[in-house]
Each structure stands twice: as C-alpha cells, then as structure tokens.
Amino acid sequence: MDSVFGRRRWFGWRLPLVAGVWALATQAAYAGVVINEIMANPGSVDWDGSGTFSETGDEWIEVYNAGGSPENIGNWTIHDSVGLKHRFPDGTIIDAGEFVVVYGSTASSGSLGLNNNAQDSVTLKNSGATQVDTYAYDTHESDDERSTGRWPDGTGAFQLFDGLNSYAGAKTPQGNGFNPTPGSANAVPEPGSGTLLGLGAVALLGRRRRRRRSRRDEQQCRL
C-alpha cells in the first residue's frame, strides 16, 4: 500500500512539477532569438549583393540570437501584417551572438513585401507557431534606406538608423544618425572615428542633435 501510495504521490504532484520546469526551460530556450533590424524600403543600395538594385529583392530582416547557446530555428517563420513571408529551412542553426539576414530575394515565399508608405509589422514565430517576437513600424521608419533596429542588439528598444536618409521629424523612434547594418551588430560608431558609443553617449548625442535642431529652428524663426 505504501509503495502504491508513494507512486500516487509521485504522479500526483512531482510529475506536474517536473513537466512545469521542463516547459519553462523550453520556453526560456526560445527567448534569445529576436527580430533585430528591418529594412522595409531600400533606396538604391544593392543590399543583397546581387549586382543589381531591386525595390523588393533588397528589402531585408535581420534576426539575432541574443541567448547564450545555439538555437535550431528550422521551420520558424517570418510574417508581415498580410501573411507568411519566410520559413527557415529544416535544421537551420543560429549560434549564440549570430545574425541571420533574410532578403526579399531569399525569402521562401519569393518576397518580404514590407510596406513602404503605410504601417506594417514583422512577426517571428517558432516551429510550434508560437509568436516569439513582433515589431510594428511607423511610416517614417520605412522611408528610403532607413532601417529600424534594436539597440543594444537583441534586448534594446527599436531605434531609427537614418544615417543614409536623415529624419528630422517629431515621431518616435527618433533618428540616431547611424547606418543600417544587415548581418552585423547594430553598433553605433561615432561618425569618422570608428569608436563605439555606450548608451549614455548615444543619449547625449541624441540630446545634442535635438539641441542643434532646436537652435537651428530658432534661428530660422528669427530670420
């Protein structure tokens, strides 16, 4: 009787506990892979290196593994607001700290179809069709040659990388003046120096740029 009672106790509460811990562990394993940068509207740059510029083929989405171990993203999918755009092939591994870029020209559906002049969204789902990450971008984030991406990589809020097409409007995210970086870190190098700036310096730079803009606006008002 004791042993039967013992098994009941094991199956009664220990098994669900083990299952719960396992479920948490598997969820945590997916937490590190995110949408890191989006180029919805290429201007004239041959981003995919095909040799020619294409308004659709040179769109791209950068995915980043911010976790500490490799992840199998086989059969994970990327969607826009309309539907499925890309399915990663079986057995696709993204190493810790690695960037993977899907171009319009390499998307499994034939294109990414990211909207240029209206809001759109990019969603990443795992092989169980569970949403892992999503980002909805505004129209100023999808003007020619601007990307929108996380800073710091993987964990930060989205910033506007407008180094190739400066944005001076009032919408958020504001432009940070730095260039899009498909396949590499959304590092924010100080122009001309190659020095990487920390978060505080980026914030300071943003304030300086805003102050310069407001001083310029004041001068124009005075004229």
Q: Which residues bind Ca ion (CB under 5 A)?
A: 37, 40-41, 46, 48, 50, 54, 58, 62, 114, 116, 144, 181, 186
Residue 50 beta carbon to Ca ion: minimum distance, rounded to whole angstroms: 4
What is the rounded distance in angstroms from the CA atom of residue 82 to the CA atom of residue 70?
30
The C-alpha R_g of the chain, in whole angstroms, comes to 22
Residue 132 CB, shortest distance to Ca ion, in Å, is 18
Q: CB of 219: closest distance to Ca ion in angstroms? A: 33
Nearer to Ca ion, 40 or 100 (CB): 40
Taking the least distance from each CB to Ca ion, the nearer of 29 and 53 is 53
In angstroms, give the least distance from the CB of 122 to Ca ion. Answer: 12
125 backbone dihedrals φ, ψ, rounded to 5°: -125, 145
Closer residue to Ca ion, CB minimum distance, 29 or 66: 66
Q: Of 41 and 65, which CB lies nearer to Ca ion in the complex structure? A: 41
Residues 6+ apart with CB under 8 A from 38: 60, 61, 62, 114, 122, 135, 137, 141, 147, 148, 149
Q: How far apart are alpha carbons 37 and 55 in whole angstroms? A: 18
Rounded to an integer, what distance in angstroms lies between the CA atom of residue 165 and that of residue 199?
Answer: 22
Rounded Cα gap, residues 146 and 163, in angstroms: 8
> Rounded to an integer, what is the distance from CA 40 to the centroid of its chain?
12
Q: How far is the CB of 98 from Ca ion (least distance, A)?
A: 12
Between 48 and 71, CB nearer to Ca ion: 48
Query: CB 83 → Ca ion: shortest distance, Å?
Result: 15
Question: Position of tokens 């826009």?
Answer: 80
Number of H helices, E strands in the chain: 3, 11
Residue placing its CB nearer to Ca ion in the complex, 127 or 152: 152
- 180 three-class SS: coil
Token readout for 15 is 């098994």
